Chains A and B, each alone.
Chain A
Amino acid sequence: MFYVKSLEHSIVLQPIHFGPKLYATIKRLVKESVEGVALPHYGYCVKVLGVDDENVKAGVIEYDTGDVCYTVQYEALLFRPMKNEVLDAVVTDIMSLGFYAAVGPLKVFVHMSKMPQDMNGEQGGGFDGNAWVSADEEVKIEEKCGVRLRILGCTADDGQFTAVGTMNDEFLGMIDTGDEANAY
């Protein structure tokens, strides 16, 4: 789920940056250090929407180094995978135990037991080395094809969310053969 939230971040600046461009530097550094990073509880920070000058609090000088620590409030567009959220993903890796699919920065693992029964071998179909194929061979999940998944759960460890998803439900499954992508 995408949402906008106001967050705080602290930036440590060396004295070399003090000057007319101070605020610009702070804003740039906030962007650089936060964008694209997974923040525990909040999700991936997709974009920093804005930092207002008045939201940059007065810095605190660190005695040992002379650096100054600024606490900055910023608005960010966040992407947080939610439990039971249905997402469209692109398959990135096929393995004998299932496959990985990517939703932007988020990697979702779909285990074979979480695939439709006619695909995980229980009622035919299965893994053929490069793809997961359904019993009637109509559905073939290979790299770069698009799938619709439901998130079963996810965890955030350092800078990275990992999620486990299912494809074994109504309206879930392959939605795009990825042929166009595969053509390239």
Chain B
Amino acid sequence: MSVASAPAFASGGGSAPSADLFGSDSDSDSDAPKKSTTTSKANLDLSSSDSDSDAAPVSTKKRSAVQESDSDSDDDRPAAKKPKNRVENFFEAEAEDEGEEREYTEAERQAEKLDENALAMMREQDRRRLGSGAVFDRNASIEDVASSFVARHRAEAALKRSQGAGISGSDFDRSNVGQQALMPGVEDPKVWMFKCKIGQEEALVIQIMNKALASAAKGRPLGITAACAGKSRGIVYVEGFSEPLCNEAVAGIRMLMIYSQKILPISDMTSVMEVTCKRKPVKDGQWVRLTRQPFKGDLARVERVMQDGNRCVVKYVPRIDLELLRMTEDKARQRKKTGPKPRKRFFNRQEIYDAGGKTSTGKLPTFTETYDMFDNQLFDADGYCLREVSLGTQVVPCEEKRSNLPTLEEFQDFRKKRKGEEGLDEEIEEQEGLTLIDELSKLQQAGGGGSEEQGHGISLGDTVIVVEGDLINLKGKVMQLDDNTVKVAPLDASIGIAEVEFLVGQVRKHLEIGAHVKVLNGRYGGETGAIHNIVDREGEMIAFLMTDMTSKEISVRVSQLTVSSDVSTGQAKLDGYELFDLVAIAGERNRNEVGIIVKVGREEFDVVNQAGSTIQVNPEQMRGKRNSNSLRATALDFGSNPVRVGDSVNILDGEYKNKSGTIKHIFRAFLFLHSQTMTKNSGVFVVKSTVCSLLAGGRTKGSEAPQPAMGAGRQQRPNPNGGGKMGKTVTITKGQWKGYMGIVTNETDKSVQVELHSRPKKVFVKIDAVKVKGDKFGPTNDDGQRLTNPGSGAAQGFAGGDTPYMGSATPMGGTTPMNLGGITPGGHAGGMTPMGYGGGADEEEENAWIPGPMDRSDADSVSDASGNVLLTGSTSALSSDGTPLDSWTPGSSFAGESPSSTAFTPSSVSGGDFGDTPLSGSTGGAGVGKPWFIDRVYVTGVDGVNYILKNVDTLSQTASAQPVGGGAVVELKASDCASRLLPEKDDNVLVFRGPEVGSEGKLVVIDGNDAIFSKPEGEGDQDFKIVEVSDIARV
């Protein structure tokens, strides 16, 4: 047996430092239709180590090898085999064939070990075949031949299995287990590393190789298995089984620092051989992304590449934080660290000066121009920032990753010149837009070139359609996916085939019209919507989607889509704010506005404010979210039904008449609605709550009427339609608790639960054993009719149909209980009334406490509510039975648990000391309600009689009134006046508000909303004035 193998040595230089041991003959492998990876490169071609012309697939070759071995099983095969048998101690082998240079890597050695198993198997098979005669023996029976084929194939399959890890391109190849088997172990040779001068690595490896060859020629081979230079600079690796042999091998090699010898841990051995992608050099004009804060992710363009190719000058849109200039040093530092990312804006010298900053001039190396310098950054005349950066660490080319490609918007942002200065025409902009799109598509092609496989976008479970071949138009589900084949299970089970295999190019992703899909990548990545059309555009299927959120139409390649039931909410987040957040915005003069985010851009938000207009807002201008307030809030719709976030409403009037929408947010009396069918502002619009009506069925169950924000302590609303005793004050007339008084806290058909005033106890009594004495607004009789103070002379105020009491028309200030006796009442917080007046208290006092039924938790919404909601909304609510639908004054004259009512006596309330108390803020509201409550004005009382007012007391809102038709003068309160008497032609009129307030004259004519009156003679020239009819009163 001849041993013909050289101790293989590596010339580990060049670009492939892990030089392949079987450099030449492994070529035949790569011809096989299989992929190979560097570490798992193995040589299966055992018999023909020098057959570089053999391009047949491995399996064929193997078979031929097997057949070959039939004839000459023992001559050249062992020759090729032997060295591998002894590969682990090959340095003991005699080198006879010195022309061959070989280098062994861990992977190959491993593979070869497996090869041995295969060979053993093959040998066994050969023996069997020899025993049974020649393969194609004419005498052999057909069965024999057949069985020999079967055996052969079985052996092959076994071979394949056992070699799985070693055979590149096989199914096992990429599995983790396969890779793991290739890892070096303890029996494998060890690696030592030596330091050397940087740049000398390759030369040193060649020196070592020469030495090895020379000594092998002398018959004393070096005891090492390989030497190589890895990717790390200044290091040479030497592989061998023992340290002394290794030392001997490198002895005498100059420039190699022997003393720096170090053994490499086994775990690190593979990383020596790892191949890293070479960094592509950048070119001028190329797009890159910055990687350092605060510019992370920003787009930049390479202006000039520096000589070594590792550094370049890039140009980008700066982010200047002018706020910093106005801050103290400490605060500025703080802001730089933690503050928001400054917005992209072009450099403007004037802006810097205005903010109190200074600029100087500076130069860039190798650039002749001078630039403005501010904050150590250089800016060119267009306002861009220029900076020299190092490639890879400070910038990365956009083309490297598909996801890194710039979007059209980014391009536009980059190109956007400073406003006003350039004065770009629309046309130019349009042209520029076109060139931008061209550039974009070019980039995408360039970027997509390397990832063609990604292009088909097929993944497991997708539905695909066959586009070529016999089975064209077959639809199926992808069951298995390889690099270039897919296994498809036909959707139509009647075909009777379980799975068919296709090339990737033969199938195409299939989506049905109407499917709900999500865009996987690209410009619209993350959007979701329903497909409404699919067209074939030059062989490429384009789907048209209606997006969920914004009802836009977008067109996307089918390959970028996947079926999904997600509903996207658009761009994720910016500075913690999301789409459809209710936010406060810093407005002019420090007034905060509130609006809803309808678009989240890269740098700024589009916000629809209360007025319904869209504004662009930077994150810096945001003053926090108001979502939670909105979720708690309720507003009243046209019919005074409380509406909350999530309800659907119809709009009855105004710009959006007859539309309907879902409430996204509530702010005071404004509803921020969202409608699928509106395209503007992502479907968001703003209306006043009072022009909406709650859609029937908008809420699941009527009984779930929201418990407005108050929570504990608040009683349930009384049923306005009578019947319900809930919340009413009752006396018990029968049984054990006879005579006790309390509030009904729960009721059933037959019994009620009464919370007793006098004892901390709730008792159940039969419903006929209680007598309603009143409700939280005051005493009533059993029919729910309000008891009035007969002495007050006031008409029965709650009579149906009449103008209800407006809180505004009452002497509010006077009754503010806070002011009464200096007693601190329960306060508003608990929802309990602070008011406690005696049983005989004047009625208007109660009226004064019918404020807007609004979210009481929000102090500022109250005033708003009483302005808006009360005047319109609760009007109808009050009139039906005199019981307001909603009020925040559950306390009553009987309400013993109301701390305030027990604290002082009724007399202190009805005393005439109202005048002493200053007008509270809410009386302002009274003035708005009946501003014409002035001396001499003609009014119509609620009783229908016309009066002339005299001696008006503005504080208590009372006056003595002289009936127009004649009669006794009566005391009249503002609340008793239904309206002012409208003046007619030639009547004397007084202007009580508006710019002409105070002037008097004779009415000439009323024209629509305008009234024309002439000033009396004697005041100079006859002077005609035009005012609004609503501003004048007859005197």
Q: Which residues of A contact B (CB under 8 A)?
A: 83, 93, 95-98, 100, 109, 111, 113-114, 151-155, 157-158, 162-164
> Could you say which residues of chain B place their CB within 8 Å of the CB of A152?
513-514, 532
B677 and A164 contacting across the interface, CB-CB below 8 Å: no
Q: Kindly list chain A residues whose C-beta atoms are within 8 Å of the C-beta of B512.
A: 83, 153
Which residue of chain B has the shortest Cβ distance to A113 in the bound complex?
B533
A-B contact pairs, 7 of them (CB 8 A): A83-B512, A97-B553, A111-B546, A152-B514, A155-B514, A155-B516, A164-B514
B515 in the interface, Cβ–Cβ < 8 Å? yes
| B530 with A95: CB separation less than 8 A | no
- Interchain residue pairs A-B with the least CB separation, the first 4: A153-B514, A93-B677, A153-B513, A164-B514
A153 to B679, CA, bound (A): 23
Q: Which residues of A have CB within 8 Å of B546?
A: 97, 109, 111
Whether A111 pairs with B677 at a CB distance below 8 angstroms is no
- Known contacts A93-B677, A95-B679, A100-B677; A109/B532 CB under 8 A: yes
Contacts of B530 in A (CB 8 A): 109, 155, 162, 164
A114 touches which of B515, B532, B565 (Cβ 8 Å): B532
Please encode chain B, from 562 to 574, with 1 for each CB lying within 8 Å of some chain A CB and 0 for all others.
0001010000000
User: Is the beta-carbon distance between B516 and A157 smaller than 8 angstroms?
Assistant: yes
Chain B interface residues (CB < 8 Å from chain A): 512-516, 530-533, 544, 546, 551, 553, 565, 567, 677, 679
Kindly provide the distance from the CB of B868 to the nearest chain A CB, expressed in whole angstroms. Answer: 30
Residues of A within 8 A of B515 (CB): 153, 155
Report chain B residues within 8 Å CB of A153: 512-515, 531
CA–CA, A111 and B544, complex, Å? 10
- The binding surface of chain A is classed by DSSP as strand
Cα A97 to Cα B533 in complex, Å, equals 12
Once bound together, how far apart are the Cα atoms of A83 and B513, in whole Å?
Answer: 10
Report whether B516 and A164 are in contact in the complex, using a CB–CB cutoff of 8 Å: no
Q: Bound complex: CA of A98 vs CA of B677, how far in Å?
A: 10
Cβ-defined contact, A158 with B565, below 8 A: yes
Inter-chain contacts of A114 with B (CB < 8 A) = 532-533
Residue in B531, B553, B565, B679 whose beta carbon sits within 8 Å of that of A164 in the complex: B531
Which residues of chain A come closer than 8 Å to B544, judged between CB atoms?
Answer: 111, 113
Q: Are A164 and B532 in contact (CB under 8 A)?
A: yes
A154–B567 Cα distance when bound, in Å, is 16
Closest to A154 in B: B514
Closest to A98 in B: B532
Instruction: Check A95/B533 contact, CB under 8 A, given A109-B546, A153-B513, A155-B514.
Output: no
Q: Nearest chain-B residue to A36 (Cβ)?
A: B697
- B556 to chain A: closest CB distance in Å? 15
Q: Which residue of B lies closest to A93 (CB)?
A: B677
With a cutoff of 8 Å between Cβ atoms, the chain B residues found around residue A155 in the complex are 514-516, 530, 565
Q: Which residue of B lies closest to A108 (CB)?
A: B514
* Across-interface contacts of B514 in A (CB, < 8 A): 83, 151-155, 162-164
A95 touches B516 (CB 8 A): no
The smallest beta-carbon distance between A95 and chain B, in angstroms, is 6
Q: Which residue of B lies closest to A96 (CB)?
A: B679
Q: How far is the CA of A155 from the CA of B548 in the complex (A)?
A: 13
Residues of B within 8 A of A163 (CB): 514
Cα(A7)–Cα(B677), bound, Å: 34
Q: Give A113 to B553 CA distance when docked, in angstroms.
A: 12
Q: Give Cα distance in the complex from A164 to B516, angstroms.
A: 11
Q: Which residue of A lies closest to B697 (CB)?
A: A36
Cα A113 to Cα B551 with chains together (Å): 16
Contact B513 A164 (CB under 8 A): yes
CB distance from B658 to the nearest CB of A (A): 8
Q: Please name all residues of chain B whose beta carbon is closer than 8 Å to the beta carbon of A111 when the two chains form the complex.
A: 532-533, 544, 546, 553
On chain B, the residues within 8 Å of A164 by CB distance are 513-514, 530-532
- Enumerate chain A residues within 8 angstroms of B551, measured Cβ to Cβ: 95, 97
Least distance between B511 CB and chain A CB atoms (Å)? 9
Cβ of B679 and Cβ of A157 under 8 Å apart? Answer: no
B834 CB to closest chain A CB (Å) equals 39
B205 to chain A, nearest CB (A): 63
Q: How far is the CA of A162 from the CA of B530 in the complex (A)?
A: 8
A105 to chain B, nearest CB (A): 12
- Chain B residues with Cβ under 8 A from A162's Cβ? 514, 516, 530
7 additional contacts (CB under 8 A) given A98-B532, A164-B531: A100-B677, A111-B553, A151-B514, A152-B513, A152-B514, A155-B565, A162-B514
Most interface-central of B513, B530, B546, B567 (chain A CB within 10 A)? B513
Bound CA span A109–B514, Å: 9
Kindly state the separation between the CA atoms of A114 and B533 in the bound complex, as whole angstroms.
8
- Which residue from chain B places its CB closest to the CB of A153 in the assembled complex? B514
A155 CA to B564 CA in the complex, in Å? 10
